[in-house]
C-alpha cells in the first residue's frame, strides 16, 4: 500500500518511559512493540521474538535492551540485534538473530513510525514543535476513510496526513489518526493548553461524542 | 461432519480423547461429548465396561490404556500404542491432572514441554530461577526400533522441582516424544534416589490451533494428596498457557528462517526435523512464498 512509507502516529511519546515499559500497538494490522531505551531513544520493533514467536511487548526493558518474556533473549536498542542468550551465557550470539526494527521519530509529543523506509528523510507531518498537552487516546471502530470524512463533517480541518485541527467543547484541539488496522483506528487527542480540572470532563465528553458520531457512520 | 485433516500422521495413529473415567456412567442415550479434529464425538461404556466412541454415527477403533481413551480415525494399519512400563510399576502413584484447553497448535504445546530454557522466566521460583539460566549441553537421538525421540543427559537447576521438593536441586531430565502429540518427561524423584518420576503429556487436537492438554503423573510420592499434586501441575501449566497462546504464528513453523535455533534448542530442532521428515501438515505453519 502506498500509504506505508508515510510517517504514522502510533503513541503519545510521554507514555514511553526510559528504560521502563513497553507499549503494544498495531499499524496496518502489523503488531508493533514500542519502548524507550534507558538512554532515552524510542524504538519501534516488530512485536515478535525471532526465537519462538512470543510478542516482545510482553518482555522487559533492561537498560538499552529489551528481553523476551519466554527465554530472556536480549535485543539491543537501535539495530534490534540479539546480544545475549541466557541459556548459553558463555557463547557469543550469531549476528543473524535480529528483530525487525522500523524507522521511528519523536515529534509533536507523539511517536511516529514508517512501516517502509521512505525514499527521502522528510520529517513527520505538521508542526515540528510540541503541540500542546496530550489528553488521551481512543479507539474509533471505523476505517480511516470513514474517520476522515466524519472529521470533515464535524468541522475539523486536515493539516497534514493523519493530523487534524478542530475544537471540542469550545477548546482548540489536535487529533492524530493512527491506522491501526484496515478496520479501525486510534485517535490521539491533544489540547492547545493544559485543561483545568473543571474543563476535563466536558472536553472528554465531547471527544466521546465525536467518536460516537464517527462510529455512527456507514461505509462510503 | 468429516474430520478436518487427512494428514496420515494424525489419522493413522492413536489420539487421546481424555481420561477414561470421564466415560463412566455414560450411555448411548446420555453419551459423553468431546471433540477431535474439528469433529463431534460421543462416547460411553458398554455392558462389558468397554469404551465405545462414535463419530458421524460410526464406531471408531478404541483403546483404553494408561487411564486414557485413545481412538483411531483413519483406515490405515493400527500400530500398538507406545509403551509406558512405569505405569504398571508397583509403588507409583497414578494421577490424572485433567485436561487444560490451550488455543494454539498441539505441536507448540509439545515443544514447550520439551524446553528447559524457559524455566527461569516462566516458572520462576519452582522449575528455575535467574541467574541459573544455562542449559548445559545434552544430546538427542531417535530410537531406531520405536522411532521415538529421546533427549538425554539433560539437567537444570530447580528451586522447587515438584510439589514435595524441599529445596533446590540440579534436576536430571530425560525427554521422550512418542508421537507428534504425545511426550513424556522423566525427572529426578525428590523422594527416591535412582528412580525417576514420569510426567506424560497427551494432547487432544480439537483442530489445527486448539487442543486439550492432558497431563498424567506417574510418581513415587507418598506424602502429598492428589489435590496438591494436581494443583502444582496446574500452577505450572497456568504459567505456560498465556505464553503458548501469545505465540505467532499459532501453528508450528517447520521450514525456513521464521524462528531461530541455538544449541540449547536441540530437542526442539530435533522434534521439528522429525515432524518434517514425516511431512506433518496438521498444526504446521505452511509458509507462503513472499
User: pLDDT value at position B289?
Assistant: 47
Contact B259/A53, CB-based, under 8 Å?
yes
Looking at the domain assignment, is residue A118 inside a domain? no
What residue ranges of chain B are covered by domains with CATH 2.20.25.680?
Answer: 8-72
User: pLDDT value at position B193?
Assistant: 79
Chain A residues closer than 8 Å to B243 by CB: 54, 69-70
Strands A185-191 vs A133-140: parallel, antiparallel or unpaired: antiparallel
A162 pLDDT tier (thresholds 50, 70, 90): very high
- Compute the nearest-CA separation of A184 from chain B (Å): 21
For the segment A71-100, the average pLDDT, to the nearest whole number, is: 95
| Residue A211 CB coordination number (10 Å) | 18
Number of domains in chain A: 2
Cell representation of residue B215: 497431563
- Report whether pLDDT(A127) > 70: no
Chain B residues closer than 8 Å to A31 by CB: 248
User: At a CB cut-off of 8 Å and minimum separation 6, what does B189 contact?
Assistant: B195, B196, B197, B219, B220
Per-residue pLDDT tens for A180-191? 999 999 999 999
Per the DSSP assignment, residues forming a β-bridge with B68 are B19, B65
Contact B121/A54, CB-based, under 8 Å?
no
User: pLDDT value at position A126?
Assistant: 67
Closest by Cβ to B260, choosing from A50, A87, A90: A50
C-beta separation of B201 from B218 below 8 A: no
Chain B residues closer than 8 Å to A53 by CB: 247-249, 253, 258-259
A128 pLDDT tier (thresholds 50, 70, 90): low
> Which residue, A84, A113, A142, sits at the end of a domain?
A113
Say if residue A180 is in the same domain as residue A140.
yes
User: pLDDT value at position B192?
Assistant: 80
User: pLDDT value at position A1?
Assistant: 44
- Report whether pLDDT(A176) > 60: yes
- Compute the nearest-CA separation of B117 from chain A (Å): 6
C-beta separation of B73 from B11 below 8 A: yes
Cα(B118)–Cα(B255) distance, rounded to whole angstroms?
23
What ipTM goes with this model? 0.95
**Which helix H or strand E contains A204, and what residues bound it?**
helix A200-215
SS (HEC) of B9-36: HHHCCEEEEEEHHHHCCCCCCCCEEEEE
CA within 13 Å, CB half, A206: 17
What residue ranges of chain B are covered by domains with CATH 3.90.380.10?
Answer: 85-284
* 3 state DSSP class of B86: helix
Cα(B169)–Cα(B158) distance, rounded to whole angstroms?
5
Say if residue A95 is in the same domain as residue A22.
yes
User: pLDDT value at position A131?
Assistant: 63
Strands B284-285 vs B252-253: parallel, antiparallel or unpaired: parallel
CA A193 vs CA A80, A132, A174, A199: distances in Å: 37, 6, 11, 11
C-beta separation of B183 from B110 below 8 A: yes
Cα(B56)–Cα(B111) distance, rounded to whole angstroms?
32
Strands A74-76 vs A65-67: parallel, antiparallel or unpaired: antiparallel
- Compute the nearest-CA separation of B134 from chain A (Å): 4
Looking at the domain assignment, is residue A2 inside a domain? no
Q: Radius of gyration (Cα) for chain A, nearest Å?
A: 19
Phi-psi bin for A159: left (phi > 0), alpha (psi -120 to 50), beta?
alpha
Q: Is B259 on the interface with A (CB under 8 A)?
A: yes
Domain extent for A24: 8-113
CATH number for region B85-284: 3.90.380.10
Q: Which of A186, A178, A191 is nearest to A211 (CA)?
A: A186
C-beta separation of B40 from B59 below 8 A: no
- Report whether pLDDT(A120) > 80: no
Per-residue pLDDT of chain B (290 residues; tens, 9 = 90+): 799 999 999 999 999 999 999 999 999 999 999 999 999 999 999 999 999 999 999 999 999 999 999 999 999 999 999 999 999 999 999 999 999 999 999 999 999 999 999 999 999 999 999 999 999 999 999 999 999 999 999 999 999 888 888 888 899 999 999 999 999 999 988 778 788 999 999 999 999 999 999 999 999 999 999 999 999 999 999 999 999 999 999 999 998 789 999 999 999 999 999 999 999 999 999 976 44
Cell representation of residue A103: 524507522
Cα(B215)–Cα(B230) distance, rounded to whole angstroms?
9
Report how far apart the first and last C-alpha atoms of chain B are (Å, whole number). 34
The CATH number that applies at residue A188 is 3.30.530.50
In this complex, how many residue pairs, one in chain A and one in chain B, have their CB atoms less than 8 Å apart? 63
Looking at the domain assignment, is residue A124 inside a domain? no
Looking at the domain assignment, is residue A85 inside a domain? yes
Average pLDDT, chain A: 93
Say if residue A192 is in the same domain as residue A138.
yes
Per the DSSP assignment, residues forming a β-bridge with B212 are B101, B204
Cell representation of residue A89: 551465557
Looking at the domain assignment, is residue A164 inside a domain? yes
Say if residue A103 is in the same domain as residue A200.
no
Cα(B208)–Cα(B282) distance, rounded to whole angstroms?
6
Looking at the domain assignment, is residue A160 inside a domain? yes
Assigned CATH topology for domain B8-72: N-terminal domain of TfIIb (2.20.25)
Report how far apart the first and last C-alpha atoms of chain A are (Å, whole number). 20
For the segment A76-92, the average pLDDT, to the nearest whole number, is: 96
The string of DSSP codes covering B229-290 is HHHHHHHHHHHHHHHHHH-SSSSEE-STTSS---GGGHHHHHHHHHHHHTT--TTEE-PPP-
User: At a CB cut-off of 8 Å and minimum separation 6, what does A98 contact?
Assistant: A50, A75, A79, A80, A81, A82
Say if residue A153 is in the same domain as residue A79.
no
A163 pLDDT tier (thresholds 50, 70, 90): very high
User: pLDDT value at position B36?
Assistant: 98
Looking at the domain assignment, is residue A89 inside a domain? yes
Chain A contact residues (CB < 8 Å to B):
31, 48, 50-55, 58, 69-72, 82, 85-91, 96-97
User: pLDDT value at position A8?
Assistant: 95
C-beta separation of B155 from B170 below 8 A: yes
Residues in chain A, overall count? 220
Amino acid at each position: 500500500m502506498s500509504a506505508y512509507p508515510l510517517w504514522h502516529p502510533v503513541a503519545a511519546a510521554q507514555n514511553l518511559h526510559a528504560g521502563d515499559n513497553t507499549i503494544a500497538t498495531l499499524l496496518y494490522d502489523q503488531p508493533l512493540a514500542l519502548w524507550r531505551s534507558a538512554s532515552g531513544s524510542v524504538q519501534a520493533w516488530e512485536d515478535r521474538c525471532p526465537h519462538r514467536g512470543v510478542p516482545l511487548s510482553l518482555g522487559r526493558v533492561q537498560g538499552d535492551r529489551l528481553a523476551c518474556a519466554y527465554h530472556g533473549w536480549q535485543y539491543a536498542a537501535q539495530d534490534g540485534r540479539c546480544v545475549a542468550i541466557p541459556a548459553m551465557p558463555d557463547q557469543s550470539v550469531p549476528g543473524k538473530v535480529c528483530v525487525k526494527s522500523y524507522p521511528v521519530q519523536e515529534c509533536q509529543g507523539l511517536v511516529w513510525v514508517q512501516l517502509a523506509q521512505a525514499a527521502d528523510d522528510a520529517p513527520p507531518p505538521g508542526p515540528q514543535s510540541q503541540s500542546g498537552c496530550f489528553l488521551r487516546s481512543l479507539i474509533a471502530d471505523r476505517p480511516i476513510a470513514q474517520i476522515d470524512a466524519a472529521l470533515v463533517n464535524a468541522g475539523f480541518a486536515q493539516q497534514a496526513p493523519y493530523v487534524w485541527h478542530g475544537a471540542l467543547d469550545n477548546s482548540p484541539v489536535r487529533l492524530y489518526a493512527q491506522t491501526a488496522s484496515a478496520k479501525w483506528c486510534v485517535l490521539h487527542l491533544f489540547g492547545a493548553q493544559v485543561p483545568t480540572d473543571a474543563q476535563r470532563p466536558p472536553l472528554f465528553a465531547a471527544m466521546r461524542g465525536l467518536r460516537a458520531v464517527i462510529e455512527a457512520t456507514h461505509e462510503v | 461432519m468429516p474430520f478436518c485433516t487427512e494428514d496420515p500422521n494424525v489419522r493413522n495413529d492413536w489420539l487421546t480423547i481424555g481420561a477414561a473415567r470421564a466415560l463412566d456412567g455414560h450411555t448411548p442415550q446420555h453419551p459423553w461429548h468431546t471433540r477431535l479434529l474439528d469433529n463431534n464425538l460421543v462416547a460411553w461404556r458398554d455392558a462389558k465396561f468397554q469404551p465405545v466412541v462414535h463419530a458421524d454415527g460410526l464406531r471408531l477403533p478404541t483403546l483404553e490404556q494408561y487411564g486414557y481413551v485413545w481412538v483411531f480415525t483413519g483406515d490405515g494399519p493400527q500400530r500398538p500404542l507406545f509403551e509406558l512400563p512405569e505405569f504398571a510399576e508397583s509403588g507409583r502413584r497414578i494421577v490424572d491432572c485433567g485436561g487444560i484447553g490451550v488455543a494454539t497448535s498441539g505441536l507448540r504445546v509439545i515443544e514447550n514441554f520439551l524446553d528447559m530454557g524457559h524455566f527461569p522466566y516462566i516458572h520462576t521460583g519452582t522449575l528455575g530461577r535467574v541467574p541459573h539460566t544455562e542449559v548445559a549441553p545434552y544430546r538427542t537421538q531417535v530410537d531406531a526400533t520405536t522411532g521415538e525421540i529421546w533427549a538425554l543427559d539433560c539437567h537444570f537447576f530447580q528451586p522447587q522441582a515438584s510439589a514435595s521438593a524441599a529445596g533446590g536441586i540440579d534436576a536430571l531430565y530425560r525427554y521422550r516424544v512418542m508421537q507428534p502429540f504425545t511426550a513424556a518427561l522423566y525427572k529426578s524423584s525428590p523422594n527416591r534416589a535412582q528412580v525417576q518420576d514420569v510426567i506424560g503429556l497427551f494432547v487432544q487436537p480439537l483442530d489445527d490451533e486448539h487442543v486439550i492438554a492432558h497431563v498424567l503423573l506417574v510418581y513415587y510420592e507418598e506424602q502429598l494428596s492428589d489435590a496438591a499434586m494436581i494443583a502444582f501441575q496446574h500452577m505450572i501449566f497456568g504459567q505456560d498457557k498465556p505464553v503458548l497462546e501469545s505465540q505467532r504464528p499459532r501453528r508450528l513453523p517447520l521450514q525456513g528462517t521464521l524462528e531461530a535455533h541455538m544449541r540449547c534448542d536441540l530437542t526442539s530442532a530435533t522434534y521439528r526435523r522429525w515432524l518434517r521428515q514425516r511431512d506433518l501438515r496438521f498444526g504446521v505453519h505452511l509458509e507462503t512464498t513472499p
